[in-house]
Structures are given as structure tokens and as C-alpha cells.
């Protein structure tokens, strides 16, 4: 106030001895009389801890996302470099070529999937998701879409349920949710080689669950699991991911008027489920 200059949005952090740091934004301005003398002042002190945390979360997310994108791009670069070298040496018939192309395609698919997640997450936040509903057999759709996973890495995925259970939903979006559940089971429960997908139906609606025998999730973390950017392993070093898959899945199921959830116990595996109501006539 002595300087007579106003203060706009000046942020300070305060750390009480027995509490977490909180942040305050200060705005202040002097009040002058007609002659220009300072006769008083006005000031506001606003708690901006939430704003500060949101910015930090965004920064953390950007660094995770950049890292996630960089990994497949680096391996794509390596595959292309090797292909280039083979071409220069006129060894294009080398048996390495199909393998390198396969690797490059895999990296490209990873980048595409990450970008789709980033784009989709924005859509859900802005409420722009449109459903293209048709009537289809949930069990048949899932059997077809999980076919390629059956053979790989010794996983056994068991799909059980009645093929006559028909749902009226957006098949591509529902497939996205199921694939996300199953991919998560493969990724976060690697010690569980058996994954079961169970579909049931009543006249009220249909329910699907994906059960793994992995390590499970601690009880205190369960309430946050469908939140945007949330990842149980905060260091993020062990498994790759953006923490968007379940957030997007929850958006898809809610748009269908359904419910989504998880039951899990440490050491006893996890069951991720969703239910969608029967079509209202």
C-alpha cells in the first residue's frame, strides 16, 4: 500500500505445520481522496488451491502424454532406420523386412490409439458424443472382437453368456469399453492368465463383467478409478497409459443410460462391470 500500486492475482503458498500447503491469491488496491492521497485500501484474499492443483494436474498429464507418445515414435524411428539401412545395402529381400514392417505397424497403432484417447476424452468433457445405435448380440460381438487376443501370450479369455441376449446400443463404443476392460486385465493383472467375460441379460437390461485374477486394487483407490487421468500407480513407471481408458468407458456407458463399476480386493483380482438398460419402447 505504501507504493500506491495495485496488486493483481498475486499468489502465495502457505504451509501450516500440521496441514498441506494451500494457495491464496491476493488482489489489492489503494483508495485515493480527491487530492490523490492514499486514504485506505481494499483487498481480497482468495483460496486458489483448486486452481493451482488443476494446473499441476494438467502439467503432469502433458508430461505423461508426451512420454507415452515418444515411446512408440522412438521404436517406429528405429524400425524405419533399419529398413532404410537394408534398402541401402540392397538387402531388401532380407528376412528382417517383414518383422520390421510388423514392428513399425505396431508402433503406429499405439500412437493412433493414444491420439484417439486424447481426442475422445475431449469429446466427453464437451458432451459431444453421438451414439449410432443398432440391435446386436453382445456375446457374438465380443467373441469376434476378442478373437485375436485369444492366441497371444498364453492368455485364456473365456466369454460366456447367451448369444440371444440382444442390446440396442452403439456397437463400436461398447466394443471399445470391453476391449479396454480386457486390455487392462492383460496389462495390470499379468500374473492372471485367465480372464473371464460374463454376459447376462434380463428384461430390464444387460450386464457384462470382466474378471481377472490379478493383484486387485486397494479399497481407498477404488472411488477414483473412473476419474480422468487417474492411475493407481502414481509413479507411472511400471505400466504405460494415460489414465483415460476408464474415464472414456464411463462416459460411453453413461451416455447409454447405464451404470459402470468395479469390485476389487488387494490380492484377489478385480471385476469391472457395466450394465445398460433394455431399450425403452
Q: List contacts with ligand ADP (CB under 6 A).
A: 180, 184-185, 188-189, 212, 214, 217, 225, 230-233, 241-247, 270
> Would you say 159 or 217 has its CB closer to ligand ADP?
217
CB of 157 vs ligand ADP, minimal distance in Å: 13
Q: For the CB of residue 49, give the shortest distance to ligand ADP in the complex, in Å.
A: 25
Tell me the closest approach of the beta carbon of residue 162 to ligand ADP, in angstroms. 25
Biggest CA–CA distance in the chain, Å, is 90
Task: Classify the phi-psi angles of 42: left when phi > 0, otherwise alpha if psi is within -120 to 50, otherwise beta.
Answer: beta
SS (H, E, C) the chain: CCCCCCEEEEEEEECCCCCCCEEEEEEEEEEECCCCCEEEEEEEEEECHHHHHHHHHHHHHHHHHHHHHHHHHHHHHHHHHHHHHHHHCCCCCCCHHHHHHHHHHHHHHHHHHHHHHHHHHHHHHCCCCCCCCEEEEHHHHHHHHHHHHHHHHHCEEEEECCCCCEEEECHHHHHHHHHHHHHHHHHHCCCCCEEEEEEEEECCEEEEEEECCCCCCCHHHHHHCCCCCCCCCCCCCCCCCCCCHHHHHHHHHHHCCCEEEEEECCCCCEEEEEEEECCCC
Closest approach, Cβ 226 to ligand ADP, in A, equals 7
Nearer to ligand ADP, 1 or 113 (CB): 113
CB of 276 to ligand ADP, least distance (A): 19
Q: How far is the CB of 109 from ligand ADP (least distance, A)?
A: 15
**In terms of CB distance, is 22 or 230 closer to ligand ADP?**
230
Task: Give me the sheet containing 270-277, strands edge to edge.
Answer: 156-160, 194-202, 205-211, 270-277, 259-264
CB of 56 to ligand ADP, least distance (A): 18
Q: 165 vs 175, which CB is nearer to ligand ADP? A: 175
Nearer to ligand ADP, 104 or 260 (CB): 260
We find the least distance from the C-beta atom of residue 191 to ligand ADP, in angstroms, to be 11
Q: Judged by CB, which is closer to ligand ADP: 32, or 70?
A: 70
User: What's the Rg (C-alpha) of the chain?
Assistant: 26
165 vs 185 by CB, closer to ligand ADP: 185
Question: Considering beta carbons, is residue 23 or 224 the nearer one to ligand ADP?
Answer: 224
Amino acid at each position: 500500500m505504501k507504493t500506491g500500486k495495485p496488486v493483481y492475482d498475486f499468489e502465495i503458498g502457505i504451509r501450516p505445520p500440521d496441514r498441506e500447503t494451500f494457495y491464496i491469491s491476493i488482489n489489492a488496491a489503494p483508495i485515493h481522496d480527491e487530492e490523490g492521497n492514499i486514504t485506505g485500501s481494499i483487498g481480497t484474499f482468495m483460496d486458489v488451491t483448486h486452481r493451482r492443483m488443476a494446473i499441476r494436474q494438467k502439467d503432469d498429464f502433458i508430461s505423461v502424454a508426451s512420454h507415452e507418445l515418444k515411446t512408440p515414435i522412438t521404436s517406429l524411428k528405429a524400425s524405419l532406420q533399419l529398413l532404410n539401412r537394408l534398402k541401402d545395402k540392397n538387402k531388401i529381400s532380407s528376412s528382417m523386412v517383414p518383422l520390421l514392417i510388423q514392428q513399425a505397424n505396431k508402433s503406429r497403432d499405439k500412437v493412433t490409439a493414444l491420439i484417439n484417447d486424447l481426442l475422445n476424452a475431449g469429446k466427453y468433457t464437451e458432451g459431444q458424443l453421438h451414439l449410432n445405435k443398432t440391435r446386436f448380440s453382445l456375446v457374438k460381438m465380443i467373441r469376434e472382437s476378442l478373437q485375436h487376443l485369444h492366441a497371444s501370450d498364453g492368455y485364456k479369455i473365456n466369454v460366456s453368456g447367451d448369444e440371444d441376449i440382444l442390446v440396442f446400443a452403439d456397437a463400436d463404443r461398447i466394443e471399445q469399453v470391453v476391449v479396454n476392460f480386457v486390455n487392462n486385465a492383460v496389462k495390470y493383472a499379468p500374473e492372471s492368465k485367465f480372464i473371464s467375460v460374463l454376459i447376462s441379460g434380463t428384461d430390464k437390461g444387460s450386464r457384462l463383467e470382466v474378471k481377472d485374477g490379478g493383484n486387485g486394487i486397494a479399497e481407498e483407490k477404488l472411488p477414483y478409478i473412473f476419474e480422468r487421468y487417474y492411475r493407481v500407480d502414481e509413479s507411472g513407471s511400471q505400466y504405460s497409459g494415460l489414465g483415460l481408458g476408464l474415464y472414456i468407458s464411463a462416459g460411453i456407458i453413461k451416455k447409454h443410460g447405464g451404470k459402470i463399476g468395479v469390485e476389487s480386493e488387494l490380492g484377489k483380482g478385480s471385476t469391472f462391470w457395466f450394465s445398460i438398460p433394455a431399450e425403452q419402447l
